[in-house]
Chain A
Amino acid sequence: MAEELVPVYIMGKRYDVPPGLTIMKAMEYAGYRLVRGVGCRAGFCGACATVYRLAGDYRLRVGLACQTVVEPGMYLAQIPFYPAPRAQYDITQLQPTFGTLVSLYPELLRCLGCGTCTKVCPQELDVKDIMARAMRGDIAGVADKSFDCIMCGMCVSRCPAEEAQYNIFILARRLYGRYIAPRAQHLAKRVQEIEAGLYDQDIQRLKSLSNAELRQLYNTRDIEPE
């Protein structure tokens, strides 16, 4: 089935590509062998953030190249890397407080609340709101609301206050996971049991079984109901 090609402009240069391709596949169709701006190809790694404009439209749009379909007249450029400061810390020496966030990232307080970050987030997170939570010291809120962040850096690239949002967010998530979320007591108990050798005998017994005996045991094992 012959399809009409559509024009896209990769860093300003026109290429005609089949409609329906993702930006990433369109670049490969055009002849690019990608090293930068490509990672998981599935929307999880944040390597392929792309900015584009459509013909006749002033708006700057963003998308992940691996998840965004080309449109005729698209002018695009990938932002495979954008510098963002990361504070040095030892997670075991911190406290889960506003003071920790602001001492490691003093620029946090420069946030203007302009919402540009929210507009450019390809995960459609409300980045402005998450920053507001950070400024209130709501670490649990930052951790929860930023959870789907893929650290692509688009927010950083557009921020007039020069924030490193995604680095603040991962710090908050680690603080939450380590200090605020209640520890799993059953896990701690099981770890103690294992370290005391409580299960060694059971496993040795299974290891000593013949293949047929092991199969028999497996095929008749009880399965926890839904």
Chain B
Amino acid sequence: MEWDGKMGYPPEMRESIKKVEASRPARLHETFPMMSPQEKEEILRRFHPDYIASAFREIRIGPNKGDRTPHELADLLEGRPLIDPDKLDLEQVDYDTDVLVIGGGGAGSAAALLAREQGAKVIIATKLRHGDANTMMAQGGIQAADKENDSPAIHYLDVMGGGHFVNDPDLVEALVRDAPLVIQWLESLGCMFDKEPDGTLITIHGGGTSRKRMHSARDYSGAEIMRTLRDEVRSHPEDITVLEFSPAIELLMDDKGQVAGAVLQNLETGEHLVVRAKATIIATGGSGRLHYQGYPTTNHHGATGDGLVLAYRAGARLAFIDTMQYHPTGAAYPEQILGLLVTEKVRGLGAQVVNVDGEQFVFPRETRDVEASAIIRECVERGKGVRTPTGMVGVWLDSPMIDMIHGPGTIARALPAMVRQFGRFGIDITKEPMLVYPTLHYQNGGVAIRPDGFTGIPGLFVAGEASGGVHGRNRLMGNSLLDVVVFGRRAGRAAGQLAKEVRLGRLTLEHVRAWNQQLAQAGLLETAKPSPQVLPDYTRKIR
């Protein structure tokens, strides 16, 4: 790429890089100590965005009335439905199917495949294209305890500790127990995990792991899983129909109180479509595009939390919606990629986090909530961050160390996506560090589920980031790709089985009418924001 004066680091930032380079030889042999449990609690309380009380409020209606959640999500949960139940003719059914999967990411695709194995006809309805999802963007890896020195029980302990011991134990058990099964399933579908020449899976540490159990596919781990699952879905067009650019905007129920499909809206024509289904799986992912507390996000364009809104109106209970994950290392420079993910694999491979003076200030593999809080403290309280020309602040992630530790060429081999992303802006991460700051990454909570994805509302299942409980108050790296495949499969299997038995009654939108009444009784009907949001709006406000 040609140098044009705008590319690469400006001179002020280069001054700080010199200090990073100067301290590097000594730091190669230094390990910054991990925090004690007390120190962790203290730093979270003082610096983690979840503890900024003014960013949250109580929800005023619905199953979680009285619970706290960020304003942005509360506004949507208390939102006004997009459709008028008196105007939509439910007699005209556009699609009839056994299982409707809402969302075409990793969880939705895995669910569709397993529902099909149960003999179900499946429709995947997705907002953008099949595979436009956070799964596609996950870089670092997927956890599974498949090495000799590891076990599902050790994995269980790491997950519970990372989540602050409030995770749903039954869900965690399902997660860690299925993990090796899921890796084997993906391997059999042709997923190219990183392996030694003898087939041994290459595994490294992630934040909060006690064993090296992070499997990867270079730093396109999620993309490799997503495109493999998508290709497998495309191999079964006779059983699985994919409707793209067709987000669900409301669930349908029947007169027996069962969830019975959804109303979709074609984003290009505006047309409403009625899909009747014997079982419905919400796999709509997270909500980073709501930009809680004004944070930039790593999430894909459609991550607006729609599934939470739909499930909530149908009576499902949400769990852990007062905690979001801020990934410690979002790009802070250049401006064009602000907030985009710099994979935790960079730290997993040995890169340290250092301040403006080239000093370490935190163990690089603390759990994400603790690591992010330490970076915020370094910049905000201690004033030891690096300022960019546009006024952003960040700390250095010292990537060149990786080649010094593991040998030249490691970065190019293990982190091609990161090399490419920074290279496009004139930064060579094999020679120069990356400037990073926490970025909104993950919705720790979501719809409460049982280990088979069942929500307690007849006919309704949830899987993946839209669900809540398995990660408690903080998810570990590599447990989200795992979550989407484990619970996608489980929900798909359960929904496929259920569809064999269910007898649907008459379709209704009574629950929407009831919701509107609740809004009116609470005096919210006039001010309620239309929801689900469906898409973010980044257009400049034009006249």
CB-CB nearest in chain B for A195? B181
| A4 is an interface residue with CB less than 8 A from chain B | no
Of residues B128, B197, B210, B267, which shows the largest number of chain A Cβ atoms within 10 Å of its Cβ?
B128
| B361 is an interface residue with CB less than 8 A from chain A | no
Q: In the complex, are the beta carbons of A47 and B129 less than 8 A apart?
A: yes
Q: Number of A residues whose C-beta is below 8 Å from B?
A: 73
Q: In the complex, are the beta carbons of A190 and B231 less than 8 A apart?
A: no
| A11 is an interface residue with CB less than 8 A from chain B | no
| B537 is an interface residue with CB less than 8 A from chain A | yes
> How near does chain B come to A166, taking the closest CB pair, in angstroms?
10
Q: In the complex, are the beta carbons of B542 and A31 less than 8 A apart?
A: yes
A2-30 to B contact mask, C-beta < 8 Å, 1/0: 00000000000000000011100100111
Q: In the complex, A28→B144 CA distance in Å?
A: 41
Q: In the complex, A123→B424 CA distance in Å?
A: 10
Q: In the complex, are the beta carbons of A123 and B420 less than 8 A apart?
A: yes
CB-CB nearest in chain A for B335? A20
Of residues A29, A86, A191, A222, which shows the largest number of chain B Cβ atoms within 10 Å of its Cβ?
A191
Q: In the complex, A184→B189 CA distance in Å?
A: 14
Chain A residues with Cβ below 8 Å from B301 are 34, 38-41
> How near does chain A come to B369, taking the closest CB pair, in angstroms?
15
Q: In the complex, are the beta carbons of B267 and A35 less than 8 A apart?
A: yes
Q: In the complex, are the beta carbons of A224 and B181 less than 8 A apart?
A: no
| A136 is an interface residue with CB less than 8 A from chain B | no
Q: In the complex, are the beta carbons of B417 and A35 less than 8 A apart?
A: no
A193-226 to B contact mask, C-beta < 8 Å, 1/0: 0110001001101110001001101110111101
Q: In the complex, are the beta carbons of B146 and A203 less than 8 A apart?
A: no
Q: In the complex, are the beta carbons of A45 and B137 less than 8 A apart?
A: yes
| A56 is an interface residue with CB less than 8 A from chain B | no
Q: In the complex, A30→B542 CA distance in Å?
A: 8
| A185 is an interface residue with CB less than 8 A from chain B | yes
Q: In the complex, are the beta carbons of A203 and B300 less than 8 A apart?
A: no
Among B14-22, B80-88, B147-155, B457-465, which stretch is in contact with chain A? Answer: B147-155
Q: In the complex, are the beta carbons of B341 and A174 less than 8 A apart?
A: no
Q: In the complex, are the beta carbons of B132 and A29 less than 8 A apart?
A: no
Q: In the complex, are the beta carbons of B232 and A91 less than 8 A apart?
A: yes
Q: In the complex, are the beta carbons of A148 and B128 less than 8 A apart?
A: no
Q: In the complex, are the beta carbons of B128 and A47 less than 8 A apart?
A: yes
> How near does chain A come to B4, taking the closest CB pair, in angstroms?
9
Q: In the complex, A206→B193 CA distance in Å?
A: 30
Chain B residues with Cβ below 8 Å from A41 are 300-301, 340
Q: In the complex, A129→B429 CA distance in Å?
A: 27
Cβ-neighbour of B235 out of A28, A91, A191, A205 (below 8 A): A91
Chain B residues with Cβ below 8 Å from A90 are 235
